[in-house]
Structure 1
Amino acid sequence: MVETEKLIEVKDLKQYFNVGKPKEVRAVDGITFDIYKGETLGLVGESGCGKSTTGRTMIRLYNATDGEVLYKGENVHGKKSKTQLKQFNRKMQMIFQDPYASLNPRMKVSEIIAEGIDIHGLANSQKERMEKVYALLETVGLNREHATRFPHEFSGGQRQRIGIARALAVEPEFIIADEPISALDVSIQAQVVNLLRKLQKEKQLTFLFIAHDLSMVKYISDRIGVMYFGKLVELAPAEDLYRNPMHPYTKSLLSAIPLPDPDYERSRTRISYDADMHHYEENDEVVMREIAPGHFIYCSEEEFKQYKLEYKYN
């Protein structure tokens, strides 16, 4: 973590969707966490756990059902004028999961990247505009000749680089990377992650990195939050989470990570998780509790005592 200044504060965030009475999907169900300036917070969990919905709600693509998202102390979902919204949209950007669907097929790469530059008036002339586009292409590992091409002329990895260049065009402070590598070949994934790490150092960026690949999340993240059915069940520094996973669901996820070791794979035991194993009583207060500095677990008071013993002797 580069600094200890809170850039983002998520407080009891809820995002519910009505899918026909009386059904209600609690995609995000009262989660709380902070993101510090200069860090990468990884958010992991299985498909449908609410991690992408969390990111989209944080950036106002969805209106929050309840709770708050604060950016530098200001409520993201508060009432804003057009000017304030424009400034907010410039400071928070998103890299989307699907590099094929997130780029307009009818626009040239130069137009895609320059769209934000034009909206925010970041270039004083056509020449300056194109110089910014060329510089951004080179920043993400492409070249100026690519500016005149259309998205269909690129590979998946190249399209994701164009998406990253588009996000960087407005000089943001905070970027939500919503599973930016899941649609890419394994050989390309490491290139994109290394690019994001390089950009973070060069431009002092802060990331929320959403993914389901735990091995890749460990590589890029300072801290990791684990989500299960709309709840944040564990939050810890990356090394601590992998060394001392406490919540049974986290253990289940980690047990599923394959290693390039035939002997290990033959003896690997997959840990299964069932939410019914917790046996909460009606009067149990199930909340996030700090088991070690910076290491939080969603649990009851009784479970907390057990987790503390387990953590102590690990």
Structure 2
Amino acid sequence: MSERKKLLEIKNLKQYFNEGKPNEVKAVDNVSFDIYKGEVMGLVGESGCGKSTTGRTIIRLYDATGGEVLYDGVNVHGNKSKKELKQFNRKMQMIFQDPYASLNPRLKIADVIAEGIDIHGLAKSKQERMEKVYELLETVGLNKEHANRYPHEFSGGQRQRIGIARALAVQPEFIIADEPISALDVSIQAQVVNLMKKLQHEKGLTYLFIAHDLSMVKYISDRIGVMYFGKIVELAPADELYRNPLHPYTQSLLSAIPAPDPISERTRKRKTYDPATHNYQDNEPVEFREVTPGHFVLCSETEFKQYQAQSKQ
């Protein structure tokens, strides 16, 4: 793993809305992390913490207020020609949260999936275009008869599969999955996540998997970043984060995951996070520090020493 290639580098990324005004919102505030080729990076946090805005800024649905997004060493938010933007859009795709709103209800499924194929000229004939559509439908667990139907004829889980097929149509390297299972029934969520894991291994994909369901994120992710009010407060390998959560906010999120045993669930104590407990001083700047190899926490120097001592126990 020491030879892993950085596919994406996010450096001091900022996304402010109503910048400079009294109602300014720092949705993404000085966020930095890397994503390595072939891995699944999970990004979790409660609603409104900025995780979806981070994903949308990375893929240029929003122009960044500040910072850099480097894809293969090239700044995504620099001035780009139409040709360069087109090439970038083929490499990076997005699966959206709402499978109902993300599909054009007026288009047949074949045209929904083939939109990227048409834009990038990936089919030389109508026959090749349809063959690619049929192949993509089968890849996501549907069949070619579905190609002539409309989105309203499908269930939520099927629509999300169609959304995945659409993202795969241009053969991307990197996919941002923005809460791809939150609008689905629990019984369907595991099917969609298993499909994404299968496709990752078969096609060598890299994912940024955004969600608020920590148990599902642990299942699919190699590393997990925890966001709180626009900042990443902790980042670690998935198993390490669950085994040894250091930041109080991460601890509160993990304590909220329901246990499968109803008896222990009734007696289990949950932790609540109070930001005031940090009480950062002016002479103790808050930085993103590496407590143990690969385990980073947003903390002051005093907290850093406490976390190091805690990790050695």
TM-score (norm 1): 0.98
- State the Cα RMSD in Å: 1.1
Quote how far apart the aligned CAs of 1:226 are.
Answer: 0.1
The one-letter code matched in structure 2 to 1:209 is F
Determine the C-alpha separation between the residues in 1 that align with 2:285 and 2:131. Answer: 57
Equivalent in the alignment of 2:286: 286
Cα distance in 2, alignment partners of residues 206 and 275 from structure 1: 33
Partner of 2:241: 241
Residue identity matched to 1:281:
Q
SS of match in other structure, 1:175: strand
Residue identity matched to 2:220? I
Report the equivalent of 1:231.
231
Show CA shifts across 1:144-178 (max 9, x none). Answer: 00000000000000000000000000000000000
1:119 corresponding residue in structure 2: 119
Letter in 1 for 2:309: L
Aligned partners of 1:20, 1:10: CA distance in 2, in Å? 23
Q: In the aligned structure 2, how far is the partner of 1:37 from the partner of 1:259?
A: 34
Counterpart check, 1:296 vs 2:296 = yes
Q: How many aligned positions are there?
A: 313
1:1-314 aligned within 5 A:
4-18=4-18, 21-313=21-313
Pairwise CA distance, 1:3: 6.2
CA contact (8 A) 1:39 1:222 kept: yes
Confirm or deny: 8 A CA contact 1:40 1:223 kept in the other structure: yes
In structure 1, distance between residues paired with 2:108 and 2:3: 38
- Between the aligned partners of 2:263 and 2:136, the Cα distance in structure 1 is 45
Change (3 A) 1:268 1:3: farther
Counterparts of 2:311 and 2:87, CA distance in 1: 44
Is the Cα contact below 8 Å between 1:3 and 1:36 reproduced in 2? no
Q: Which runs of 5+ in 2 are unaligned?
A: none
Structure 1 residue 2 displacement after superposition: 10
| Structure 1 contact 214–254 (Cα < 8 Å) conserved | yes
Residues in 2 aligned to 1:309 and 1:187: alpha-carbon distance in whole angstroms: 42
Q: TM-score, normalised by structure 2?
A: 0.98
Asked whether the 8 Å contact 1:2–1:38 carries over to 2, the reply is no
Deviation at 1:282, TM superposition (A): 1.6
- The 4+ residue runs of structure 1 with deviation greater than 3 A are none
Q: Offset at 1:45?
A: 0.1
Aligned identity (percent) is 77
